[in-house]
A and B are shown apart, each in its own frame.
Chain A
Amino acid sequence: MVTAPRVGVVALQGGVREHVELLASLGAFPVPLRRPDELVGPDGLRVDAVVLPGGESSTIDRLLRLFGLGHPLRDAIAAGLPTLGTCAGLIQLASRIEDPAPGQESFGVLDVTVRRNAFGRQVDSAETCLDTAWGPAQVAFIRAPEVVAYGPSVTPLARLHDRLVAVNQGAITGIAFHPELTGETLFHRRLLESIR
């Protein structure tokens, strides 16, 4: 019998539940992550993949450090844990933030430079069908960041209005938008397929 893959969803703040529901609908076993011991047990990692949801990136960064989840999570991702970061999650994964909030840090595991709120404020948020290297995707943009520069190991996946909004680097995928709000399964399916 094949057991369902355990997928951690960082659950400190933001749009956690939609990811949990989407993962469950794809046959995975979602695991909300708030504390280090939910990520790493005595026998090593307790999840097969991880999702970093959207929310307020500076708040999530602060809470990750406050609760001691940041370091072990960063190390696990750097060591090859399959990872999907959406919106604030993409910012958290990035090597460089062009315009960080005071004191804001990121994991530095995805070789990109991101710009926060690149598309303007809430009033400019929208739902759209995006052409990606993996196929079409119906997604929502909310105060989305963009990738303004990337290293040689990074593959661009999608652009919106000539701005790079989705990238892949090995086991890590970073997207500036929200597939979970529209029920788009493409990126979560890819994440589950990459677990082996």
Chain B
Amino acid sequence: MKRGLADMLKGGVIMDVVTAEQARIAEDAGAIAVMALERVPADIRAQGGVARMSDPDLIDEITAAVSIPVMAKARIGHFVEAQVLQELGVDYIDESEVLSPADYVNHIDKHAFTVPFVCGATNLGEALRRITEGAAMIRSKGEAGTGDVSEATRHIRTIKREIAGLAATLASDPAELYVAAKELQAPYALVREVAERGELPVVLFVAGGIATPADAAMMMQLGADGVFVGSGIFKSGDPAKRAAAIVKATALYSDPRVITEASRGLGEAMVGINVADVPAPHRLSERGW
């Protein structure tokens, strides 16, 4: 049942917000959900230190301000932060590499919760392990807080390519799916299901570095079911206008005329950092496994 929940988010944009006011701007612009945070990834990156779950007061404030679903982040493996977020009644928990991991071995056992989880993945094996643990939604990780979309592109392309590979294996010799499961480090039954469906059994969003309408439309054309926009909106010159433009481009992602119009006069985009300039130990996408 939890798997079907996230279907209602398809074709939509989920926006990071740090105040009730930002949450209202996001809802007004047509966001399908907001991610309630104390700091957007760009600030977490700039300020450093340990990043944790947000203050329950902040999450309550944001939940009270909007009628769309509210998501909140727990640290990887921090099942008690997840218990708190479930107690607060958030609509989704994001077990997120943007926060500092609390457990470098185990992710949260998401079957133990009634609230649905979204988890990050950089490749198919990682996505399938998260689904096995109970994730109801997968988002590719990208490199959050950079405004550089190249990692997001790599992750969605990798996942799509690996799914296509499984489908091809099924067509040529189903016996090879056992080895495929071993190599993906994921359960055979789930690997077989993905090979048969030609897609994940849950929705697949893209996150990390999306800053413009064209970025969002590119992810949709690469096969995403929707996008997360983190720092890209409220770190830009005209957040309300940019948010609405990204919503428009995500809904009509295959229409260059719409994307062209949506790209006009948005003011300054977030400054951004090239992923190549981020030293490897500080790359968030390498957290989780």
A residues engaging B (CB < 8 A)?
11-18, 34, 54-56, 58-59, 62-63, 66-67, 87-88, 99, 101-103, 116-117, 121-123, 125-127, 140, 142-143, 178, 181
Contacts and interface: CB of A to CB of B under 8 A. Distances in A.
A14 B33 CA distance: 12
A66 B248 CA distance: 8
Interface string B239-250: 000000001100
B12 interface: yes
B28 interface: yes
A101 B67 contact: yes
A143 B114 CA distance: 14
Given A101-B67, A116-B67, A121-B91, A56 B10 contact: no
Chain B interface bracket (under 10, 10 to 19, 20 to 34, 35 or more): 20 to 34
A125 B5 contact: yes
Given A13-B10, A14-B11, A140-B1, 9 more contacts: A12-B11, A13-B12, A14-B12, A55-B10, A63-B251, A67-B251, A101-B67, A116-B67, A125-B1
Interface of B: 1, 4-5, 7-12, 24, 27-28, 30-33, 66-69, 86, 89-92, 114-116, 247-248, 251-252
Given A59-B30, A59-B247, A99 B67 contact: yes
A196 to B, nearest CB: 31
B25 to A, nearest CB: 10
B67 A122 contact: no
Contacts of B91: 121-123, 143
25 contacts: A14-B10, A14-B12, A18-B7, A55-B8, A56-B8, A56-B12, A58-B68, A62-B30, A63-B30, A63-B248, A63-B251, A87-B8, A102-B24, A102-B27, A102-B28, A121-B69, A121-B91, A122-B92, A123-B89, A123-B91, A123-B115, A127-B1, A143-B69, A178-B4, A181-B4
B227 to A, nearest CB: 12
B41 to A, nearest CB: 23
Contacts of B92: 122
A32 B11 CA distance: 13
Contacts of B11: 11-14, 16, 55
A181 B203 CA distance: 13
- Which of B32, B33, B115 gathers the greatest number of chain A CB atoms within 10 Å? B32
Nearest to A178: B4
